[in-house]
Amino acid sequence: MSTTSSTSNSSLATQDTVRFQEIVCSDQQSKIAVATLCNPKALNALTQNMLVLLNDQLDKWHDDDAVLCVILNGEGEKAFCAGGDVRTLHDKMKHAPIEDAKAYAEAFFGTEYQCDYLIHTYTKPIIAWGEGIVMGGGMGLFMGASHKVVTPDSRLAMPEIHIGLFPDVGATYFLNRLDDDIGLFLGLTGVMMNGTDALDVRLADHMNAPADKQKLLHQLQQTDWNSIEDSYDYLTEVLSELADNANIAKPATHLLPLIPDIQRACASDTLEEVFDNIQALPCNEKWMQAAQRNLMDGSPITAHICFRQLKQYHQLSLADCFRLELILGLRSVEFGEFQEGVRARLVDKDGLPNWTYAHISQVPKSVIDNLFTSLWREQEHPLAMLGHH
């Protein structure tokens, strides 16, 4: 990573890059690859530049027989990755002609989804070290990894309802693979989970101490890889052993005791019923109060998109999910709800988005139908090549 001198203007020091290392193992042949997201001032939010770099390097490592596994992590302790760089997208939507904004969004989302798809379909183990914040675009990278590690301070969410977008980065796929309707609740409320919650609903595989990361690297470097029959099983064992030795104090679960209530609330066939059921859930816990408030204050259009994603599209292949999300992403840029959400939450920070419709009951079905309508013929879709290797 390029370093800027301490005398430089602080705006020049904003780094949006990815640092790559290859650690040679003791056999002098095998390598452990490490990719570190380096945008710490923005909680490692993914810029277009970072996504291009990461995607290209993961491709190279995939083809390099000496690379045995990849460790994906974020700079600093605060965040693995807090999401995609939606502020730049907001500025394009606000100042550029709509066709330019859509072209930028197509390039940004297209690269992001290709990178996420590559991680999901990688044929080598990827350990995603989800320390700190793992949200939105960070979840996109995290969920495709073969070994998803959280720490006691991890906080995970798909919070798109706050900004008038929709659960993307493959969420149409991975939220639909959770136990019945849990994904719908997480998407509609954008609620923050801790590491224990993530393990409980199988959004994560391991909880490790932050200090285990260096121990993991050291152990993998010392491993005699010729004697390892299955690298996936071996990494699972190593992570489990490190966790046992670290004697971690796990944060208390919020989600597990509430799962039956959440599933009953979200089982209804209409969004209006699900909305009312969630608001009626017993809220003697701050966590549930936050979930209910998020849904109440969130974009009614996002709620409708999310409901349809998680009620009608659970049979879609991974590649088709990303193709659908690219359509939704560009339609959202056209529509304007997303621009207003980012303005209110991240740019002006007044926290008062002026949503197009005041309540979910006012959103016409035709508006949602249009958001799901492709901008391309099937073979012309920018992600037509996903899944056709």
Return the pLDDT at 2: 34
Tens digit of each residue's pLDDT (9 = 90 or more) over 240-267: 999 999 989 999 999 999 999 999 999 9
As given in the structure block, the two tokens for residue 131 are 């320390």
Return the pLDDT at 14: 55
Diameter of the chain by CA atoms?
A: 65
Return the pLDDT at 8: 30
Domain 13-380: CATH class, spelled out:
alpha beta
HSE, CB side, 13 Å, CA atoms: give it for residue 20. 14
Neighbour tally for 26: CB within 10 Å: 12
CB within 8 Å of 21: residues ≥ 6 apart: 33, 34, 36
Decide: 287 and 191 in contact? Cβ < 8 Å: yes
Query: From the first residue on, what is the mean pLDDT of each consecutive set of 10 residues in the chain (389 residues)?
Result: 32 73 94 97 96 98 97 97 94 93 96 98 98 98 98 98 97 96 98 98 98 97 93 98 94 94 97 97 90 97 98 96 98 94 95 96 98 95 89
**3-state helix vs strand vs coil in the chain, percent to 5:** 50, 10, 35
DSSP label at residue 158: -
Return the pLDDT at 389: 59
CA–CA distance, 293 with 181 (Å, rounded to integer) = 19
Nearest alpha-carbon partner for 88 in 68, 109, 70: 109
Beta bridge partners of 126: 70
As given in the structure block, the two tokens for residue 53 are 């770099």
Return the pLDDT at 15: 77
What does the chain come to in residues? 389
Beta bridge partners of 194: 155
Task: Enumerate the active-site residues.
Answer: 84, 137, 160, 168
CA–CA distance, 79 with 73 (Å, rounded to integer) = 9
CA–CA distance, 332 with 102 (Å, rounded to integer) = 10
Return the pLDDT at 4: 31
Return the pLDDT at 216: 98
Q: Note if the pTM is more than 0.85.
A: yes
Q: Determine what percent of the chain is predicted with pLDDT higher than 70.
A: 96
Give the residue extent of every domain in the chain. 13-380
